[in-house]
Amino acid sequence: MRLTRRDALLSASASLFTPLLPRMSFAQETPRRGGILTAHLGSEQRILNPALRASTGVYLITSKILEALVDLDPRGNPAPVLATSWEATPDGKTVTFKLRQGVTWHDGKPFTAADVQYTAMEMWKKHLNYGTQLQQYLEAVDTPDPHTAVFRYSRPMPLNLLLRALCDLGYIAPRHVFEGTNILENPANTAPIGTGPFKFVQYERGQFIIAERNPNYWRKDFPFLDRIVWRVITDKSAVAAALETGQVQLSSYNGLSLSDLDRLKEDDRFEVSTRGIEANAFNNTLEFNIRRKELSDVRVRRAIAHAIDVEFFIENFLYGQAKPATGPIPSSSPAFYPGGAPPYPFDKKKSAALLDEAGYKPGADGTRFTLKLVPIMNGEDVPLLATFIQQSLAEVGIKVEIVQLDIAGALTTVYRDWNFDLATGWHQYRGDPAVSTTVWYRSGSPKGAPWTNQWGWQSDKIDQLIDQAATEIDPAKRKTLYAEWVKAVNEEIPVWMITERQFFAATSKQIRNHHNVPRWDSSDWHDTWIAAS
């Protein structure tokens, strides 16, 4: 029996896109100093160090406390932060960053090239979930003086790739705090020390995180806000109530329910839009544990994809605000998007034929085999998709058992323990396939690194294509290589990118200078302020 919208809304809630509202301008207003911005935090964070954990849940908090070498400007181009300029050699193997002078850590120690060298070699290269792939050919970071960092690569590193990646994967941690300690267990991972506009104050598990104005911030006269409070609210109906009563002023990354987003877009007190989140397109995913005998057969993986009516899911659960993905590179990335159609259109007869061909014919009760599905609960549509997959696969003879865990437990179960057959969640695309996308397919990521290839799947061809594209300096050749890569991974389907979507935020109109850069929710908020009531 096909699950309908009404059935779904009775058992769970779904996600919604709302129309993009016009960009608001407050150019005539004078920024007001002081005030507390309270933001919604939808899930608990076990680590608050973006140099070790690439995640929007982490960036939402610690991008205000720690800083990256670069960020994006309003046009989406890399802009100086801790790095003031950069230059690459013609062969792409050496990239030199000039660093900002006069910057201090929140504990008063000076920021220097030694911090960049240590973070790059000991955190990004060894532990950061997307950084390990990005920096796999980084051989050394030289520090000829306290304000110069020279990155040396054994293979070419395209400068445009590196700069775009460093917006997310370029946060710098203090060497003097981490050196000589167990990096992964250092207390600064949950009580971070940075150079940013706000200083960490307190983290009460399950309740709130507080950061206050850094009086010694290097940007003169910034920030405007006195304090930021992130309130942990896991109940989506409670989030809407908190927004409407003024207890929180911001909920981002689809933190609200479908019905509340739909309702609040008509409320003049709020802006509900994708503005300022354009840098983070995302997909619903289905991940296969290739260690499972049945799933090691590509015919079975293809059969599973053909059994799921993606257009029906989008229309009935996402209210039409998505489209079937054509692969891991979204159409919102014209520099790399290869075009094409969704590779696995809904076709139950073809699905059943592929399963028969693979040798998994129905038993007496109609069941071919049973799979365990772990939803990674980073979106309210995820359990809906899990149930939809369960019902869809039942129609072709595959029984699915859903294992319900919180997000931390699901991440551990899938990416560290490998104790799953199928998993479903979200993948985020960050402007370049090499930043956070190809790592889902390339072998060699450390065990336990979230949102990386932990599927027991490896392909020499795919690894080589990924490495070639990531080290190709010519933009046209890079796009051609990625088109070849998309074709290959669509055929092998170790991960199925099911939908193509954009995030939404709901923001109180009392907040000024919000969403004024393409990754605002994950940026530093140094120029954000709150208008008087």
* Residue 22 belongs to a domain: no
* Structure-block tokens of residue 394: 């039942």
Contact between 480 and 332 under an 8 Å Cβ cutoff? The reply is no
DSSP reduced 3-state for 292? coil
**Spatial distance between the Cα atoms of 60 and 134, rounded to a whole number of angstroms:** 22
pLDDT of residue 23: 35
Beta bridge partners of 204: 208
- Rounded Cα distance, 40 and 43, in Å: 9
The total domain count for the chain is: 3
Using DSSP, state whether 339 is helix, strand or coil.
coil
CATH code (residue 125):
3.90.76.10
Is residue 270 located within the same domain as residue 302? no
Q: Which residues contact 315 (CB under 8 A, 6 or more apart)?
A: none
Dist. CA 115–CA 503, nearest whole Å = 33
The per-residue b/e assignment along 399-408, b for 16 or more CB within 10 angstroms, e otherwise, is ebeebeeebe
Task: Give the residue carrying structure tokens 């942990």.
Answer: 232
| Average pLDDT score over residue span 74-102 | 96
> Which structural domain range is residue 151 located in?
66-175
What is the predicted pLDDT for the residue at 28?
A: 57
Stretch 14-37: mean pLDDT: 58
Q: Is residue 261 part of a domain?
A: yes
Mean pLDDT, to the nearest integer, of 60-74? 97
Strand partners, 142: 150
Whether 99 and 144 share a structural domain: yes
pTM value?
0.79
Over residues 381-404, the pLDDT tens digits come to 999 999 999 999 999 999 999 999
Per-chain mean pLDDT for the chain: 92
**Residue 5 domain-assigned (yes or no):** no
| Residue where a domain terminates, one of 118, 145, 175 | 175
Q: Express each pLDDT in 183-194 by its tens digit.
A: 999 999 999 999
**Which CATH number goes with the domain that contains 245?**
3.40.190.10
Query: What share of the chain has pLDDT > 70, as a percent?
Result: 95
Here the tokens at position 163 are 């700069």
Question: Are residue 117 and residue 259 in the same domain, yes or no?
Answer: no
Q: Are residues 452 and 358 in the same domain?
A: yes
DSSP class of residue 332 equals T
List Cβ<8 Å contacts ≥24 apart for 402-406: 402/373, 402/374, 402/375, 403/372, 403/373, 403/374, 404/375, 405/374, 405/377, 406/377
Q: What is the pLDDT of residues 253-299, one digit of tens each?
A: 888 987 788 889 899 999 999 899 888 889 999 999 999 999 999 99
Q: Are 310 and 346 in contact (CB under 8 A)?
A: yes
CA atoms of 41 and 197, how far apart (whole Å): 20
* pLDDT at residue 181 is higher than 90: yes
Which sign, positive or negative, has the C-alpha torsion 233, 234, 235, 240? positive
Alpha helices in 358-474 (DSSP H): 381-394, 407-411, 433-436, 460-470
**Spatial separation of the C-alpha atoms in residues 226 and 211, rounded to whole Å:** 9
Q: Is residue 17 part of a domain?
A: no
402 and 519: one domain?
Answer: no
Residue 444 in any domain: the answer is yes
Query: Same domain, yes or no, for 82 and 145?
Result: yes
Does residue 402 lie within any of the structural domains?
A: yes
Q: Is the dihedral of CA 407, 70, 501, 306 positive or negative?
A: negative
Pairwise CA distance, residues 306 & 440, whole Å: 21
Confirm whether 349 is domain-assigned. yes
Average pLDDT over residues 491-516: 96
Both 80 and 130 in a single domain? yes
CATH code assigned at 470? 3.10.105.10
How far apart, in whole angstroms, are the C-alpha atoms of residue 134 and residue 121?
12
- Residue 459 structure tokens: 């392909």
Cα–Cα dist 422/401, whole Å: 10
First to last CA, the chain: 52
Residue among 502, 269, 387 nearest 13 (CA): 387
- Measure the CA–CA gap between 305 and 495, rounded to whole angstroms: 10
Which comes out higher in pLDDT, residue 357 or 136?
A: 357
Q: Is 60 exceeded by the pLDDT of residue 3?
A: no
pLDDT, position 152: 98
139/263 same-domain check = no
Same domain, 222 and 127: no
What percent of the chain is modeled with pLDDT above 90? 80
- Considering the domain architecture, whether residues 206 and 132 belong to the same structural domain is answered as no
Least confident of 16-20, 68-72, 75-79, 374-378: 16-20
pLDDT at residue 14 greater than cutoff 90: no
Lowest mean pLDDT among 19-28, 110-119, 132-141, 432-441: 19-28
- Secondary structure element (H or E) that encloses residue 133, with its range: helix 131-134
Q: Is residue 20 part of a domain?
A: no
Q: Are 165 and 309 found together in one domain?
A: no
CB 313 within 8 A of CB 383: no
Same domain flag for 235 and 121: no
CA distance 288 to 464: 21
The strand pairing partners of 94, in sequence order, are: 152
The answer, yes or no, to whether the previous bond of 223 is cis (omega within 30 of 0) is yes
Q: Residue 220: pLDDT above 70? A: yes
Distance in angstroms (rounded) separating the CA atoms of residues 371 and 335 = 38
3-state SS string for 451-479 = CCCCCCCCCHHHHHHHHHHHCCCCHHHHH
